[in-house]
Amino acid sequence: MPGMDGWQVLRILKVDERTAAIPVAMFSIKMEVRDKLHGLQEGAFDYIVKPFSCEDLLSRVRRIFATLGRGATA
């Protein structure tokens, strides 16, 4: 992304009260456990490692929407 990376975007979204409750799924080629933990600790709802299967992506998106339907926020 020009100008900023995903980590910066996540931080901006999570500190703004208008966007803080939006679930963010991070997509990355970084597959180390520490990378995933960092994303989740920063407020990501999910951390998806590329490449991923369409079935896995759909499952994760469905989980996000199901959680939103129950009124939970990340």
Tell me whether residue 44 is in a domain: yes
**Which 3 state secondary structure label does DSSP give 46?**
strand
What is the tally of structural domains in the chain? 1
Q: What is the CATH number of the domain that holds 56?
A: 3.40.50.2300
Tell me whether residue 20 is in a domain: yes
Average pLDDT, the chain: 91
Q: What percent of the chain has pLDDT above 70? A: 93
End-to-end alpha carbon distance in the chain:
24
Residue type for position 57: L
Tell me whether residue 1 is in a domain: no
Question: Please, what's the largest Cα pairwise distance for the chain?
Answer: 35
pLDDT in tens, 33-67: 999 999 999 999 999 999 999 999 999 999 999 98
